[in-house]
Amino acid sequence: MNKQTILRIAKYLGIGVISLFIAAFLLGGGVFLYYANKAPELSESKLVATTSSKIYDSKNELIADLGAERRVNAQSSDIPTDLVNAIVSIEDHRFFNHRGIDSIRIAGAFLRNLRSNSGLQGGSTLTQQLIKLTYFSTSTADQTLSRKVQEAWLAIQLERTATKQEILTYYVNKVYMSNGNYGMQTAAENYYGKDLKDLSIPQLALLAGMPQAPNQYDPYSHPEAALERRNLVLSEMQRQGYLTAEQYETAINTPITDGLQSLKSVNSYPQYMDNYLKEVIDQVEQETGYNLLTTGMEVYTNVDQEVQKHLWDVYNTDQYVNYPDDDIQAASTIVDVSNGKVIAQLGSRHQASNVSFGTNQAVETNRDWGSTMKPITDYAPALEYDIYDSTAYMLKDVPYNFPGTSTPVYNWDRGYYGNITLQTAIQQSRNVPAVETLDRVGLDKAKKFLNGLGIDYPTMVYANAISSNTTESGKQYGASSEKMAAAYAAFANGGIYHKPMYINKIVFSDGSSKEFSDQGTRAMKETTAYMMTEMMKTVLYSGTGRDAYISWLLQAGKTGTSNYTDEEIENHIKTSQFVAPDEMFVGYTRKYSMAVWTGYSNRLTPIVGDGFTVATSIYRSMMQYLAEDDHPGDWTMPEGLYRSGDYVFKNGARSNWIFQTTQQSSTTSSSTTENQNSVAETTSPNTAQNRTAPNTNQNPQ
């Protein structure tokens, strides 16, 4: 091949490459212009941050107008240089060097994402963040090419029409700052009693760092997280040359509480709605990507305000429940079993009136739900997978070790009943049959069954037969009142699981609307749900849940008690009384499911004496209220089952159960004899005693 031919080939290749580049450029430009043309109109009125979100209850009555009253806008001249430096240091180092989008920042984020396994890092500028807050959703599902183009286009347009100072002012006034405060000037006045220009460097750094996760970095409810975030801002300020070494050292050693004044009650909504509204805010963002605290919208929720108010009264007065003291806490959730709608929820007693959207224990999974896990972890899967075929199936309550270990499984009384029916095992909350049942089901099958009920563990262990403790923190694992109410609701409605739903409909600022509901998924056979319900009925009238019994109301449920370890008993618990850190009850009728947790904020403060009846008393009071005008009635036995005496059998069930006249127990001599078609059971005269043993050291820590 001669030189001329080579040159000719090179020429054509060059032309081809250039042509492809031009074509790609034109195509990209065309796509950009196409999407940019569909961008919303840039409007100062939207940037000024005057919108509010209205929240309605299930009867379309207004609950709250969030953002309407808690906003004091700062003027550009009111924003100190140190605050500007803090904001650009943590949010956009090159803010003063770009024109809306930053190609260097985008390239850097791209390279970091290639090298990192910790999740995607954004390349958005401060201007783009402002545009996103004003016009768009933050949902990952909405991170489309169209949205990114429109966001970039509006950012470029804003940079052409507004100064950097004006953009920063829009941002400072737009962001949500926790506790009902909108804008940094509002936060400065309510947190420190000062204007922005009068705040110290560490105080300004705290405010600058909060907008990315305002409730998480709230210095009142999460001081440690707030301190870590503030110090990160200070570190970036020093790295960018905005602070001297001396200034940095002084600032970073300043307590996070420096200058903070006591919060005043600023809520424009009833106090009893705070926990519920927090979950509304979270679900709106999960479902749409929009933060209703910074984006104007109308949200129609599923809360029944009358029920919510009654739950508040039950918690905070002595009219319904005999509380041992003001410090014992409670958290509960009530759901409609037919659709998963959360009609009421409350996370604590005697809530502080000056904190907005703080910790809601009703959705937290940091406490152990004990024996309330047995029905959904052990016995329902055993029926579902045909390991057991009747409520009279005979089980052994005898000395037994956790599978694969030499660690004994203890019952509450350190004794054993011998041969008992499945129904008795649930009714009297025996631990040994529960653990052996989980072993027969298998950890993988049990985990799959639990997943169908909205409950998961990072790694499931045999101790989970009687405990919800997990090896990892995070609300995605373990149990909460929200999760348990939804899980037990599947027993109530014939085996269909519904995700807990707080929101019903959203009307967005552009007039468009979207409705939200959960259609439900089958979590178990109808026969499984019915058999479990029949057994858990007996828990209330002759088992461990008699304190929740209502003579005229058909219902089912299960008690739960967590344990202290032997070490905790020895080192921290200074009493010889029966003690536990957590006491729970989960119950349901054909209409409603309710889960109640009780305990002390400090886990090492034990429940004693009458404290063990608080959970069942709260439940009983609420169910009486809910059913007083509408008795739900009984469940209908589905096809595939038949009844014999006090027990329910699957068609073709094996006849492995036996008649007995006595039950053996090493700790009690009292016994009751049922009719001739049932098994005699040993019961304790004291309901509060029928609990999981306190110091068996069996729950994973």
In DSSP notation, 374-405 reads HIIIIIHHHHHTTS--BTT-EEEES--B-TTS
Give me the phi and psi of 404, to 5 degrees please: 80, 10
- Active-site residue identified among 178, 371, 665, 678: 371
Is 371 an annotated catalytic residue?
yes
Q: How many CB atoms lie within 10 A of CB 458?
A: 12
Is 666 an annotated catalytic residue?
no
Among the listed residues 172, 147, 168, the one whose alpha carbon sits nearest the alpha carbon of residue 159? 168
Q: Mark residue 273 as left, alpha or beta (left: phi above 0; alpha: psi -120 to 50; beta: remaining).
A: alpha
Q: Please state, in angstroms and rounded to a whole number, the distance separating the CA atoms of residues 307 and 315.
A: 12
3-state SS, residue 634: coil
Among the listed residues 424, 106, 404, 151, the one whose alpha carbon sits nearest the alpha carbon of residue 289? 151
CA 144 to chain centre: 27
∠ CA(198), CA(204), CA(210), 5° rounding? 140
Burial group, residue 64, by CB count within 10 angstroms (0-12, 13-18, 19+): buried
Q: Please state, in angstroms and rounded to a whole number, the distance separating the CA atoms of residues 101 and 153.
A: 9
CA 124 to chain centre: 29
- Active-site residue identified among 91, 236, 384, 583: 91
Q: Please state, in angstroms and rounded to a whole number, the distance separating the CA atoms of residues 398 and 663.
A: 12
CB-based contacts of 421, cutoff 8 Å, min separation 6 = 391, 392, 393, 394, 395, 647, 657, 678, 679
Q: Please state, in angstroms and rounded to a whole number, the distance separating the CA atoms of residues 230 and 563.
A: 38
Q: CB–CB of 410/698 below 8 Å?
A: yes
What's the half-sphere exposure (Cβ side, CA atoms, 13 Å) at 347?
24
Give me the phi and psi of 230, to 5 degrees please: -60, -45
In DSSP notation, 60-78 reads S-EEEEETSSSB-PPPGGG
Active site residues: 91, 371
